[in-house]
Amino acid sequence: MKRLSLAVIVMAAAALAGCGPRGPAAVDAARIERAAPAEWLSYGRSYDEQRHSPLDKVNKETVSTLGLAWSYELSTNRGVETTPIVVDGVMYVTSAWSVVYALDAKTGAEKWVFDPEVPRAWGQYACCDVVNRGVAVWGGKVFVGTIDGRLIALGAADGAKAWEVDTINKTAPYTITGAPRVIKGNVIIGNGGGEYGVRGYVSAYDADDGAMKWRFYTVPGDPANGPDGAASDSVREKMAATWKGDWWKYGGGGTVWDSMAYDPELDQLYIGVGNGSPWNQEIRSPGGGGDLFLSSIVALDPDTGEYKWHYQTTPGETWDYTATQSIILADMKIGGEDRKVLMQAPKNGFFYVIDRTNGAFISAKPYVTTTWASEIGADGRPVENPAARYADGAPALVMPSAFGGHNWHPMAFSPQTGLAYIPAQELAGAYMNDANFEFRPTFWNNGQNPLVSTLPNEAAQRTAMRAAIKGRLSAWDPATQTEKWKVEHTGPWNGGVLSTGGGLVFQGTADGRFVAYDAADGTKAWESVTHSATLAGPMTYEIDGEQYVAVASGFGSVYFLVMGFNIDRKAVPMNGRILVYKLGATGTVPPVTVERIETPKPPVVRADAQAGALVYQAQCVQCHGYNAIGAGVIPDLRHSAVLQDAALFHATVLEGARAGNGMPSFGAILKPADAENLRAYIATEASRAYAEENPAGGRRRSR
């Protein structure tokens, strides 16, 4: 018998090791970089965040037979923004309040549920609903960030807590809604809270034990305090030179609340940085300046957090134009030259293509209407419309609005078509300097005159406003900066996008549909009714030779909190769902019974409704909607029994009587007279609704 060579023995041992049993979610760098088509191992599937799967059994020829294979009801009825992770036959998802679920990816059978028991009162700091976009998996663990700022590692097999760290100072109103990423054993996580007066940063924690490895602050701190002892100290003076005034007293903002990407070849981590705090630069950093690193893409060393380069999309931002939207990496030919690019369609309405090796600007063109700037110049800086800055005290109507030309809903890129697919939208926003601004720590502080958030009273004007609010799926060619096709939707705030090897793109809609389009020309290929807003990023995976397509569905997210006046089909108290489809399945999504809620006759409140309007627009609109018109995610205040009872209303607003339900106390900034004025304003809006429903002086209209 011949002796086997050492090389053969080693190769055989490696092969046997690969075939042997392994624990659940035994994910490492090689596995994510290889990105096996059958699995979805990171938020954007792979480190490049393209959200493109090579799977092609569901394609233009077969998609007509796609049906519901199984669904799973989540335990909460608030916003659903999770992208499922599927590894080793198990699906990991999250719901509102940062609850984690492990499901059998083939059948939907529940394996375990972990509830981090977030104090409901902390929900007051979540500007845009108590959502969570998903988990990360690595080394047999599942990692989740919680609304109240914790990072928790769970055993993938049973959901048992392995470790927990508090990533924030609990005296500041930080939140976490984004999905972590794991790079080289470091769990990377940012946070939110830019509207409440925080200073942004991103941190890395050891996946094994939760020890903090590094932290990078995205805006400078109080100069009197000196260096932070953080990775960002090397660019501390560079940042501070671009700020003016006493910005640190307001926090500064710059939170890293969503997008990240990683290039293993260049060994660069890319983070997207958010808006200023307050939004209004004239208050935050009076006199101008770039305010680094607000609204920027920043490249960091993933091992140390050291700064490599940055590109700022909106210097001196003052419109809530975050650069936290999807960051996608790709290699493509531009102008006959092979380029390693980074792509982003941030809130400000321009689609950017940047050289990801060094941050050099390549090109940018508007993918939606932009009135704040006419173009991005050859130097990569915007050519601004001076009137859009509203620094002179006059109001400015600007496009895009703070909702953005594109928000958190993930976009996708197909290497097959060379197109990026953007959940785009057209909304104008009113901005106006608040001459009476007073910073109130832990409360809403955007520096806007509260009256700009009111609606016109005339029905015709509201109808005209609704007609001007649009949404679409846009297929964008990054190489030529042109739109190749588009699909118009009934309104904005539609779902994230998935691109597949089957020549399809999938997207959910705010009006309760899940749709597949031909990736080449936008022709509708398939549609399923979901009966609820379907906003999250879809994904696809394969088990036992069958391809599945999954998406999370459920009412919630900031649009359904704020824009009740523009939503025909009001949300109903229903839990979110995970919907999973495969070819040949015949299941159906359970329908929702919608009952019209009549406005009860409002009480007569003898107080200053006009003063109450200022209180409402300054502190309540972000959860209860413009002019107190709720969409049903949070109870419509015009229908609330609390409105009818002055004592109960005051106890709720001033004493936190319903803090356990997520309604905090405002007693620190409001007095009893303020609360009664607020009640008078809500009663006025309720009277308007009651009169519209009862035009005959109290008689209900027949229906």
Find, among 164, 168, 138, the residue nearest to 153 by Cα. 164
B/e letters for 293-316, b = 16+ CB within 10 Å, e = fewer, are: bbbbbbbbebeebbbbbbbbbbbb
Q: Per 3-state DSSP, what percentage of the chain is helix, strand, and coil (rounded to 5)?
A: 20, 30, 50
Backbone torsions φ then ψ of 345, nearest 5 degrees: -115, 80
CA distance 558 to 622: 8
DSSP summary character for residue 314: S
Residue spans of beta strands (DSSP E) within 504-607: 504-508, 513-518, 524-529, 539-543, 546-553, 577-583
DSSP summary character for residue 524: E
Backbone torsions φ then ψ of 650, nearest 5 degrees: -65, -40
Q: Which of 48, 129, 263, 320 is catalytic?
A: 320
Contact, 614 vs 607, CB < 8 A? no
Nearest 5°: the CA angle 452, 425, 558 is 60
Find, among 591, 589, 586, the residue nearest to 67 by Cα. 586
Find, among 527, 242, 517, 563, the residue nearest to 403 by Cα. 563
Alpha helices for 441-503 (secondary structure H)? 459-467
End-to-end CA distance of the chain, in Å?
91
Strand pairing of 100-104 and 110-114? antiparallel
3-state secondary structure 181-246: EEECCEEEECCECCCCCCECEEEEEECCCCCEEEEEECCCCCHHHCCCCCHHHHHHHHHHCCCCCC
Find, among 307, 170, 305, the residue nearest to 238 by Cα. 307
Asked if 209 is an active-site residue, the reply is: no
Find, among 660, 620, 662, 667, the residue nearest to 643 by Cα. 620
CA distance 331 to 517: 24
Q: Listing from the earlier edge strand, what are the strands of the sheet with 577-583?
A: 66-73, 577-583, 546-553, 539-543
Q: So which residues are the catalytic ones?
A: 320
